Amino acid sequence: MEYPGNLFVVAAPSGAGKSSLVKSLLELDSHLVVSISHTTRPPRGQEHDGREYWFVSEPEFRAMTERGDFFEWAEVHGNLYGTSRAAIESRMAAGEDVILEIDWQGALQIKQLFPHAVLIFILPPSFEELLQRLHRRGEDGADVIETRMANARLEVAQARHFDFVIINALFETALFDLKAIVHAQRLKYAAQRRSRRAVFDALNLS
Ligand SMILES: Nc1nc2c(ncn2[C@@H]2O[C@H](COP(=O)(O)OP(=O)(O)O)[C@@H](O)[C@H]2O)c(=O)[nH]1
Ligand SMILES: Nc1ncnc2c1ncn2[C@@H]1O[C@H](COP(=O)(O)OP(=O)(O)O)[C@@H](O)[C@H]1O
């Protein structure tokens, strides 16, 4: 599928810092909109329906998959997550740049559908630091943290399928890297469109 905007996909093991990085990027970049996913995971303390996620029951989620409402969906850490068409289709059609914060399985599905999507994988500096961050965030119980740490070892092996890898050691450095990728992609895409125009102009086509 082709559309006139850029599509960025950010994935990372739980606790690597992707939500914090994407939130800071959005504050700096008014041309970027984030997709709100649907999930069957229960909301955390400060989360609101329609802000971090659309929180739905498993039957509701399954009904959506059967209706074909999702561009992609996956089971992650025992819960279901998906990017609904409704969340991004109109924005994509309007040519806006969209960012998805989803897991690696979803990222690879999106790349199949939208080959020009830019896949970015965020790594923590170490597994020890990842564990510290999950504890410091203080949102998940010991069993949930254990599952996420076990899955993290499988997830980092998927980084090789991504276009870019960012190591989130120092937050400001990682944010700078993320901004640079977004900026570079915008320039590249604009240049490609301009050259197509230039070819059409040269051939006197419209
Ligand atoms: N495939 C897919 N994964 C998603 C989607 N939304 C969130 N995720 C991923 O699900 C995983 C768990 O997210 P979450 O429960 O918010 O935990 P966190 O990563 O620890 O903040 C993360 O890897 C998210 O990127 C989605 O729409 N599709
Ligand atoms: N570079 C960093 N250095 C130290 N702590 C960080 C860094 N980036 C994020 N954090 C913290 O780590 C925790 C997990 O970050 P979060 O953005 O929720 O991760 P994710 O969305 O990948 O699960 C949060 O408490 C966040 O403030």
Give the sign of the dihedral formed by CA 96, CA 73, CA 18, CA 164. Answer: negative
**pLDDT tens readout for residues 104-133:** 999 999 999 999 999 999 999 999 999 999
- The tens digit of pLDDT for each residue in 1-28 reads 666 789 999 999 999 999 999 999 999 9
Give residue for tokens 């943290």: 145
Residue ranges of alpha helices (H) inside 44-166 are 58-67, 85-93, 104-113, 127-137, 142-155
Domain spans, the chain: 7-35+96-202
ipTM (interface predicted TM) = 0.97
Summarised one tens digit per residue, pLDDT across range 45-86 is: 899 999 999 999 999 999 999 999 999 999 999 999 999 998
CATH class belonging to 7-35+96-202: alpha beta
Q: Are 76 and 105 in contact (CB under 8 A)?
A: yes
Nearest CA to ligand 1 atom 15: 41
Which atom of ligand 1 approaches the CA of 140 most closely?
20
Which pLDDT belongs to residue 5? 86
**Cβ < 6 A, ligand 2 pocket:** 12, 14-20, 133, 136-137, 168, 170-171
* pLDDT over 80 (residue 34): yes
